[in-house]
Amino acid sequence: MPTAPLRLSAMLRPTGLLGPLLGGLLACGTAQAQLDHSFYGVADLSWGRFEPSGLYRQHRFNSNSLTASFIGATGSYGFESGVTAGVTLETFYRFQDLRTGRNDNDPLLSRNAFVSLTHRDWGQVRAGRLQTLLFNTTARFNALGNSVGFSPAVRHLFAAGSLIGVQGDFYWDRAIGYTAPKFGDVTLSAMAADGDRDAPGRLSALNAIYARGLLAVSASWQRVRLDPEFADAIREQASQLGLSYNAGWAQVFGQYTLVRDTGLQLTSRIASLGLSAPLGPGKVQLQVARSRALGDAVDRRQQTRSLAYLYEWDSTLDLYVVGMDDRVWGQTVGRSVAVGARYRF
């Protein structure tokens, strides 16, 4: 369940999340400070037919077919001691609605909003609104990346409702994350967050990624324990293994996720395979996912296949066509297709 948006005013108060970070910053001294900043983002706009299984089709513009459109800014202050203090502010943008956020319920800074302290020997600490570690690995270890609109791996885990996949949002507010210095070929991360006033509780996650040469492997774990005021308690735990390998002629992806929801008395298993390979002047991206959720009164099965062709016009602009076949047992088949452009800046 999504938690309430983090208020920037709370972050900026000495008693907010920024207070402890400022204490560490001041201890490092202010000599020879160096300020750096940047503005960046993605503009993804497509037109197509969108029809998830069991729902009505829509013909419309879309702003997140391959990558959700967003704009961001980051600033950092570096010190000779090796410490860098930073702030990152990002928001999603919907061209079709001319509004920020993925939907009307999103906060203004809907993508990321955090402050950070980084040291080459100690790692990085972030505090604020953070993208979950489970979403990061799900996006990294599949051919269609972080496409919520068309990636079967992402859709099954984060956009298939509460029966298949995890409950709640893939952004946590009032969160603290830590990434340790790289140990050989392994990167370790941890994250924790509080529930909100209407749903008190704790959210926690761990992640390990091994990357060497052509091979990368990930192991992720996430637990959500919340007690909503007007709903059943959420007791959910998710574990995921991911793999990618560059075989030369193509890069292959695989991931397997197990979700146990003791509140709903459900167990979900999600398996996904993908491939990205050059073809002609562009490249083809293929991803499939198959899921099953079993419980006392539930047996829900879903299978989704997506195929995309991506042409890199230049280093910043991509042109693409993507299609998806989505099937939930007992529901009508959903078929979606979109043609669009993605611009990075």
Domain locations in the chain as residue ranges: 45-69+128-344
- Check whether 325 has a pLDDT greater than 50: yes
Alpha helix stretches (DSSP H) within the chain: 8-12, 18-27, 133-140, 152-158
Interatomic CA distance for residues 340 and 333, integer angstroms: 23
CATH assignment of 45-69+128-344, among 2.40.160.10, 3.30.110.70, 3.40.250.10, 3.50.50.60: 2.40.160.10
Q: Convert the pLDDT of each residue in 161-171 to its tens digit.
A: 778 899 889 99
Quote the DSSP letter at residue 170.
Answer: S
- Check whether 16 has a pLDDT greater than 80: no
Specify the higher pLDDT residue, 39 or 96: 39
At 189, is the secondary structure helix, strand, or coil? strand
Whole-number CA gyration radius for the chain: 21
Q: Convert the pLDDT of each residue in 70-83 to its tens digit.
A: 999 999 999 988 89
- Check whether 192 has a pLDDT greater than 50: yes
Weakest-pLDDT range from 27-31, 210-214, 278-282, 284-288: 27-31
Q: What confidence score (pLDDT) does residue 15 get?
A: 37
At 62, is the secondary structure helix, strand, or coil? strand
Interatomic CA distance for residues 287 and 155, integer angstroms: 11
Q: What are phi and psi of 138, to 5 degrees?
A: -60, -40
Q: What confidence score (pLDDT) does residue 26 get?
A: 43
- Check whether 25 has a pLDDT greater than 70: no
CB 45 within 8 A of CB 341: yes
The strand pairing partners of 307, in sequence order, are: 286, 323
- Check whether 211 has a pLDDT greater than 50: yes
- Check whether 229 has a pLDDT greater than 90: no
Q: What confidence score (pLDDT) does residue 297 get?
A: 84
Structure tokens at 159: 């956009």
Interatomic CA distance for residues 218 and 214, integer angstroms: 14
Q: What confidence score (pLDDT) does residue 1 get?
A: 41
CB 337 within 8 A of CB 58: no
Quote the DSSP letter at residue 155.
Answer: H
- Check whether 315 has a pLDDT greater than 50: yes
Please give the mean pLDDT across all residues of the chain: 90
Q: What confidence score (pLDDT) does residue 35 get?
A: 86
The strand pairing partners of 38, in sequence order, are: 74
- Check whether 22 has a pLDDT greater than 90: no
